[in-house]
Structure 1
Amino acid sequence: MWLVAAFALAGGLAQLVDGTLGMGFGVTSATVLLALGVAPATASAATHAAKLPTTLISGLSHWRVGNVDKAVLVRVAIPGAIGGFLGAVVLTSISLVAAKSGMAALLLFFGAVILVRFGFGLRIIPTPKSGHTARWLSPIGLLGGFVDATGGGGWGPVVTPSLMTVTSHEPRKVVGTTNAAEFAVAVSVSLGFITGAAHQDIPWLPVLGLVLGGVIVAPIAARLAGRLPHAPMGVMVGGLIILVNSIVVLAAVGDLPFVVDLALMVAWLLFVARLARTAWHKERAERAAAATAEPVLV
């Protein structure tokens, strides 16, 4: 029972981040499962099994509060589902060693994407600069779905900043649309893993915990979208994802002495804490300036 409760807490925190930032549930859940020794294809299958109810509730919650653009939703969700299915099939067809290292490296990259995005205001993933145009939506969805399946997460880090670039929507509507479209991707990826038989070894107790925590928090996160301090949350999530997956990547390259590992871990946590604090103060100042700004007369 404690295992379910622990994963429910993790799922709730991951969904709070995902529902407010538009990214985080998949990469966080897959990182935890991979660190526990779950096989990559199984970790991704388990993550997407947990996403089925959580993304459904999250999408409906965002829909109810007006955070979803229906036209963008359809144009992103359908190619996202196609890319997700293809990614699941690819992941189940490669060797276990290659898959584990590859997934850890991909999650490490997305951790860096999140950290740099919210800690420094920069975007690692290049996005189109042509304004609100529909022709970019399908490629964005296709790429997001594929990397989401092969990495166990990645839909949000790819799609959310891209939609913020190619649409004129405010952040809460981009987050809501991304969360709603993710349900279609989760269904398609799950079907892909069933085809590849990766579902047979899924650790269902952790999945149950992730589902319970995610479903409970999803409606709350939808209402809090745009209100919670995004920057420090993104920095802390990205920093933890980098820490856990860098351990996996370094272990594949070669073992370091325990003292060195510990020193690097402490130094990294101190850096992330300092960066999160700086990002929090900067965001507070920006919100205060926006709140006191005089309205523009037109």
Structure 2
Amino acid sequence: MDTFLLFLLVGVVAQTADGALGMAYGLIANSVLLALGVPPATASASVHVAKLFTGSASAASHLYHRNILWSLFWPLAIGGVLGGVVGAFVLTGVDGDVIRPFILAYLFAMGVWVLARAARQSRTRELPPRLSGPLGLVGGFLDAIGGGGWGPTVTSTLVGAGAEPRHAIGTVNTSELLVTAAISAAFLVALLTGRWDGGALHDHAWAVGGLIVGGLIAAPFAGWITKRLPQRVLTYAVGTLLILLAAFQGLQIAGLFA
């Protein structure tokens, strides 16, 4: 029960950040699981199962508050599904920690870029839909590999390119639901075909349950927070969160933070 309550709290914090800023649920939850010694593939699978539930509630909130750009939604979702499936199969056969430092370097650079745009008060513009498909492909792959990465990769790129934060966050957060479903299905196929032994997923049932309940508590407020916060505040928040997450995981890799 202590494990359930711990991950309930983690789920509330992670989903509040993810729903309002378009990122962090997977990275926060995955980082905690990895810090507790859970294997990378098992941690990623556990987080994506939880995100199926929390992502549904968050997507409904953004849909209600009209935070979605449909011209970007479908290219992002289709690219994300393809990249996520490939990433899940790579992770079940290769150690995902090998590419983790490169992901963190990218996230840190994007955080600095986003903060620079906020400081300059750059004019917003919409990313061409033809570029959102490849962006979704990369984001889905990194999300499956790192147990989280869809939001930081895609949201940061959209905001950095000049998209209005409210619509970037809502679109990315909602399309993530389809990406998460595809990644979860890929992990299931890998488990059923014997490619992956599952890493004793049942041992982490309380943790997954806590992530789901905590996320469901916070998710309904996501769209409202995103809609109400000023654009510049959201931009600064996205950039700062990216840098903090990259730094935190960098310390973990260096062995300076357990």
Q: Quick check: TM above 0.5?
A: yes
SS at match of 2:38: coil
Pick from 111, 119, 130 the counterpart of residue 135 of structure 1.
130
SS at match of 1:23: coil
RCO higher in structure (CA 8 A, sep ≥6): 2
Aligned to 1:161: 156
1:199-226 Cα distance to aligned partner (Å, 9 max, x none): 4522121111111111111111210015
**Secondary structure of 1:71's partner?**
helix
SS of 2:37's partner is coil
Query: Is the Cα contact below 8 Å between 2:126 and 2:163 reproduced in 1?
Result: no
Correspondence for 2:168: 174
In structure 2, what is the Cα distance between the partners aligned to 1:204 and 1:35?
Answer: 17
Q: CA deviation at 1:63?
A: 0.3
5+ residue gaps in structure 2?
119-124
Q: Report if the CA contact (8 A) 1:21-1:234 is conserved.
A: no
Contact 1:89 1:195 in 2 (8 A): no
Matches within 5 A, 1:1-298: 1-94=1-94, 98-103=95-100, 105-106=101-102, 108-109=104-105, 112-113=108-109, 115-117=111-113, 121=117, 132-164=127-159, 169-197=163-191, 198=196, 199=198, 201-202=200-201, 203-228=204-229, 229-230=233-234, 231=236, 235=240, 238-239=243-244, 241-243=246-248, 245-251=249-255
Partner SS state of residue 68, structure 2: coil
Give, in angstroms, the shift of residue 116 of structure 1: 2.8
Alignment partners' CA distance in 2, 1:107 and 1:117: 15
Which residue type is aligned with residue 235 of structure 1? T
Letter paired with 2:176: E
**In structure 1, distance between residues paired with 2:171 and 2:153:** 13
Structure 1 runs of 4+ with >4 Å offset: 117-122
- Distance in 1 (CA, whole Å) between partners of 2:10 and 2:246 is 13
1:161-198 superposed Cα distances (whole Å, 9 cap, x missing partner):
333366x7521111111000000110111111112225
Q: Which runs of 5+ in 1 are unaligned?
A: 123-129, 252-260, 266-298
Residue 102 of structure 1: CA displacement? 3.6
Q: TM-score, normalised by structure 2?
A: 0.82
Q: Distance in 1 between matches of 2:228 and 2:247?
A: 26
Q: Given that residues 111 and 239 in structure 1 are in contact (C-alpha distance below 8 angstroms), is that contact kept between their aligned partners in structure 2? A: no
Aligned residues: 241
Q: Is the 8 A contact 2:127 2:163 kept in 1?
A: no
Q: CA deviation at 1:240?
A: 5.1
Q: Identify if the C-alpha distance between structure 1 residues 42 and 106 changes in structure 2 by more than 3 Å, giving closer, same or farther.
A: farther
Change (3 A) 1:234 1:48: same
Percent identity between the aligned chains?
37
Given that 2:19 and 2:222 are in contact with CA atoms closer than 8 Å, whether structure 1 keeps it comes out as yes
Alpha-carbon contact 1:72-1:177 (below 8 Å) kept: yes
Structure 1 residues 10, 181: closer, same or farther in 2, change over 3 A? same
